[in-house]
Amino acid sequence: MAGDGCAKLAALRARMAAASVDAFVVPSQDPHFSEYVPTCFERRAWISGFTGSAGTAVVTAREALLWTDGRYFLQASQELSSEWTLMKGGQPGVPEPKQWLAEKLPSGAKVGVDASVHSLNEARAMRDVFAKHGVALECLATNPVDEAWGDARPPFPTAPLRAHPAEWAGKTAAEKIAQCRAALAEKDADALVVSPLDEVAWLFNVRGNDLDFNPVALGYGLITQKNATLYVDQSKVSDELRAELKKEGVDVAKYEACVSDVKALAASGKSLWVDPEKVSAALVAAAEDAAADAPSSAKKAKTEAGGEKKTRGAKKAVVEGASPIPLAKAIKNDAEIAGMVEAHLRDGVAMASFWCWLDKQAREGKTHSEFEIGEVVRSFRAKQFGFSEESFATIAGEGPHGAIIHYRASRESARVVGSDSLLLCDSGGQYECGTTDVTRTHHTGSPTAFQKDAYTRVLQGHIALASARFPEDTSGFVLDVFARSHLWAEGLDYRHGTGHGVGAALNVHEGPQSVSPRFGNPTPLRPGMVLSNEPGYYEDGPDGFGIRIENLLVVREAATSHAFGDKKYLEFYPLTLIPIQKKLIDWSLMAPKDVAWLNEYHAQVWEKVSPRVEDEETKTWLKDATKPVTVRSFAVVSE
C-alpha cells in the first residue's frame, strides 16, 4: 500500500512540474459539489487513500497533507500511509489549507487548482489569502490527478434517468419552474443556473443512479423566463421521459452544452443568477469571459429596449445570491411528507426485523463481523416495497469502532459483534416515496456503568430536542443546546452537528436547515422541514465505544395556549419509528417527563409498525421492546 501511495504521489508531482505549479489542491468535490461523488471524481480518495466523505488533500514537491474534520480523525489516521500528514481541521493551531499554503510557500510560488471543482467563493478566498503572501492561484486546463490516474480512472456513470412519481412529488416540474421564474423577476436576473444534483432532480421531478446512495444524475439546469433546460447525458433519457418533460416545458440538452449556453447568454447581455457557494469558479469564469469578449452592441441590447432599463445601463453577466431552490426543496409539501411517513413505516418493519435477528443471534452465541452486519441490515430493507438502495453506507461500529463517527467496516478490519457487544448502527434507506436515516446503539450483553451513564445523557438530550417548542423564525443554532446540556453537565460532548436536513426521496443530507453549535447558519426552521436529531458520545481508545441515538423529525405548528409576540410556535413530530433500547438506560438519571416521552414514543412505534410486521417472532420482539416502563424511587417497577 505504501509503495502504491508513493507511486501515485510521484506521478502527480511529475504532472505538477509539467504544469509549472508548486502545489496542487485536491478537494473531495465533483463539479456539482456533491457529498458523495461518482467514482470518476474520487480524486482525493485515489491520491490519498482516505475514503471519508469530507477532506482536502494538498500536495507539494516534498509534502502531502490531508485535512478532515472531527468525524474522521480516527479513520484518517488508520487509512493514510506514512507519506501523508493528517491535519485535524478545526483544532487549535491547525490552519486551513489555503492559510497553510500561503504561509509555507515562498513568494512567487504558484498553487494549481481545477476550477471546475472549486466553488466561486472558495476560489476567491484562496486567491485573496494567497495574494497577501505573494502566492498565485493557477487554474489549470487539465487536472493533473486525472493525468496521473490515466486509463485506470473509472468512466462517467451511465445509469438511466427516471421520472419521480407525481404521487410523491406533490408539485409538477412546471409549477416549480414557475416559482423559479417569479424569483428571477424579483432578483432582476435573466437566467438561473442550477448546479447541485439534488436541486436539479427536485426541480425537474427526475431521479437517477449516478452516485452511490443519492438518487440523482449528473446534470445542470438553466431557467429563463421563456425556457427551461435539463443538461444531461442523452443516453440516460428515454423517449417516454423526454416527452413527459416536454409537456412540463422542459427541453433536454447534452450535459456538455450547459457551458456553451451559459456563455451565449452572457455574450448576449443576459445576466445569470448563480449561488457562489454552489457553482464552480470555472463556469462563472466562462460566463464573465464571454460577456467581456462580446461586442458592445450585444451588451447594450438589453438596455436599448428603452424605459427604465435604458437609464440603468447594462446588467452584470453574473448576479450572485443564494438560489431559491434549496429552501423550496427543504419545506416539504403534504405529498412529500406523506411519502416520508410511508418510507419510515417500511423502515420500521425492516429495522425491527434486524434488531430481533441480532438479539437472537447473540442469545444463541453466534457472532458476525461488522461488515456482515451491514449486509444483513441492507437485506432486511431490501425486502420492503419500493426500496431502491441505502441512503448511505451503513455504519456498524462495535466497541472502539463505534467511536469513529463515520466508520465504514471492511472485511479485513471489521470487529466481531457477539454476545457482549456494544454496537452503534447508523443506517438508512432510499425508497420510491422517501428517505430514511436512523441510528440506534444496542448492547447484546451487560453494559458498564459508564456506558449506561453516557447513553442516558445522550437519550436525555435527544428527548429534550424532540420535545422542544420554539417560536417561528428560530434557527437550529438556538436549539442545539437542548441536545448537549445533559452531556455538558458532566463535561462530555460530541464533535458533530446535532441535526441535518433530509431530502424527500433525495439526498440524506440537505440544507439550508441544520441544528448545530456553529453560528454561521441563521436559517429559521419552518413547518415541513425534515431534520435529524442525533446527539452522541464517543470514547476513544482500545476500550472505547460510540453512542448515538438518531430519529428524523418534521417541523410542524404547535397548538399553544398563547401566541406571545403574535408569533406561531413550532414543534417536532417523529418520523422514525424504531425502539430505543432500554437495557442501556440508567433510570436514576431519567426525569419523569423523560420516561413519559419514551413510553409515548414506544406506544406510537407499536401502534403504527406492528400491524405491518408479518413475522411473529419479530412482532413478539417489538412488543417487548416497546413495553411501557414505570419508574418509582429510581427503581424500574415494570419493563
Q: Does residue 305 carry a pLDDT above 60?
A: no
Are 215 and 245 contained in the same domain?
yes
Whole-angstrom Cα distance, residue 219 to residue 221? 7
Query: Residues with Cβ < 8 Å from 202, sequence gap 6 or more?
Result: 176, 325, 329, 503, 506
Please state the separation of Cα 191 from the chain's center in Å. Answer: 27
Domain membership flag for residue 78: yes
Are residues 247 and 131 part of one domain? no
pLDDT confidence band for 532 (50 / 70 / 90): very high
Can you give the CATH number for the domain in which 526 is found?
3.90.230.10
| Encoded amino acid at 194, one letter | V
| pLDDT for the residue 408 | 86
Domain end point (choices 105, 130, 152): 152
What residues have CB less than 8 Å from 542, skipping those under 6 apart?
Answer: 400
Are both 142 and 199 inside the same structural domain?
no
Determine, yes or no, domain membership for 403.
Answer: yes
Does the structure show a pLDDT above 70 at 2?
A: no
Show which of 297, 328, 359 is a domain's final residue: 328
Sequence-separated contacts (24+) of 97-103 with Cβ below 8 Å: 97/25, 97/56, 97/58, 97/65, 97/67, 98/125, 98/126, 98/129, 98/130, 99/129, 100/58, 100/65, 101/23, 101/25, 101/58, 101/130, 101/135, 102/129, 102/130, 102/132, 102/133, 102/135, 103/133
Q: Are residues 373 and 501 in the same domain?
A: yes
Q: How confident is the model at residue 412 (pLDDT cuts 50, 70, 90)?
A: confident
Q: Which residue's entry shows cell 447484546?
A: 444
Structural domain contains residue 157: no
**What is the tens place of the pLDDT at every residue in 329-338?**
999 999 999 9
Is residue 229 located within the same domain as residue 362? no
Q: What is the CATH number of the domain that holds 18?
A: 3.40.350.10
- DSSP three-state, residue 1: coil
User: Are 83 and 176 part of one and the same domain?
Assistant: no
In a domain, 462, yes or no: yes
Residues 415 and 389 in one domain: yes
Cell of 483: 441536545
Kindly report, residue by residue over 420-463, the tens digit of the pLDDT. 999 999 999 999 999 999 999 999 999 999 999 999 999 999 99
CA distance 570 to 557: 4
pLDDT of residue 75: 86
Flag whether pLDDT at 304 surpasses 60.
no
Cell numbers given for 344? 419510515
Residue 301 lies in a domain: yes
How many domains does one find in the chain?
Answer: 3
Which amino acid, residue 11? Answer: A
What pLDDT sits at residue 1? 43
As a whole number, mean pLDDT of residues 256-283 equals: 97
Max Cα-Cα span within the chain: 85
Do 462 and 541 share a domain, yes or no? Answer: yes
Which is nearest to 274 in space by CA: 200, 192, 185?
192
Same-domain check for residues 566 and 632: yes
Residue 303 has pLDDT above 60, yes or no: no
Confidence of residue 170 (pLDDT cuts 50, 70, 90): very high
Q: What's the pLDDT at 297?
A: 47
Sequence-separated (6 or more) residues with CB below 8 Å from residue 237: 160, 161, 245, 252
Query: 350 and 274 in one domain?
Result: no
% of the chain exceeding 70 in pLDDT:
95
Identify the burial level of 371 via C-beta atoms within 10 angstroms of its C-beta, where 0-12 means exposed, 13-18 middle and 19 or more buried. middle
Residue 371 lies in a domain: yes
Please check the confidence at residue 637 and state whether its pLDDT lies above 80. no
Q: Pick from 328, 347, 369: which residue ends a domain?
A: 328
- pLDDT of residue 309 exceeding 60, the answer is no
Q: What is the chain's mean pLDDT, rounded?
A: 94
CA pair distance 184, 272, nearest whole angstrom: 10
524 in the same domain as 563: yes
Both 343 and 321 in one domain: the answer is no
Q: What is the dihedral of CA 86, 91, 93, 94, to 10 degrees?
A: 40
> Distance of alpha carbon 340 from its chain centroid, rounded?
17
Contact (Cβ atoms closer than 8 angstroms) between residue 126 and residue 115: no
User: Comparing 51-60, 303-312, 601-610, which segment has the lowest mean pLDDT?
Assistant: 303-312
- Domain range for 490 is 331-638
C-alpha cell at 224: 429563463
Would residue 209 count as lying in a domain? yes
